């Protein structure tokens, strides 16, 4: 997932490509919405870490690209910028869960889902 040229901030990725990478184990899908939003609906395998809890000390994998997602793409873009500033290889899922749904991609719901919060 390397990008060439001078750093210009995090790049974007389509929901379909994000789904493909996450399902293949090549990327970590990080949902930065609030727990209530996540419980209503989220992408399979997405880990929950609300934007307000994201800090420079947050432990995230450095060997896989992080794919930040939210409802519409605003919070995930902020999260991607914060992560990129701390050396994390990160992409913003363009359009968020709205675009994910519109693309017809699968979703999970409920608090019993095995996806769980980030640790």
Q: What is the pLDDT of residues 79-115, one digit of tens each?
A: 999 999 988 999 999 999 999 999 999 999 876 677 7
CATH 3.40.250.10 applies to domain 11-102: yes
Which pLDDT does position 8 carry in this prediction?
53
- The pTM of the full predicted model, rounded to 2 decimals, is 0.87
* Residues whose CB is less than 8 angstroms from the CB of residue 63 and which lie 6 or more positions away in sequence, other chains included: none
Every domain of the chain and the residues it spans:
11-102
Which pLDDT does position 119 carry in this prediction?
42
Q: Catalytic: which of 54, 69, 70, 88?
A: 70
Look at residue 3 and tell me whether its pLDDT is greater than 50: no
- Does 113 qualify as catalytic in the annotation? no
Q: What is the pLDDT of residues 13-61, one digit of tens each?
A: 999 999 999 999 999 999 999 999 999 999 999 999 999 999 878 888 7
b/e sequence 38-74, b meaning 16+ C-beta within 10 Å: bbeebbebbbbbbbeebeeeeebeeebbbbbbbbebe
């Amino acid at each position: 997932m390397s990008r060439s040229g001078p750093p210009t901030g995090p790049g974007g990725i389509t929901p379909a490509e994000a789904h493909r990478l996450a399902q293949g184990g090549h990327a970590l899908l990080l949902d930065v919405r609030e727990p209530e939003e996540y419980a209503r609906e989220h992408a399979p395998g997405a880990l929950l870490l609300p934007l307000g809890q994201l800090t420079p000390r947050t432990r995230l994998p450095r060997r896989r690209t992080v794919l930040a997602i939210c409802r519409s793409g605003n919070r995930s873009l902020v999260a991607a910028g914060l992560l990129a500033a701390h050396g994390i290889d990160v992409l913003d899922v363009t359009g968020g869960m709205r675009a994910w749904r519109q693309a017809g991609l699968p979703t999970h719901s409920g608090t019993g889902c095995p996806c769980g919060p980030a640790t």
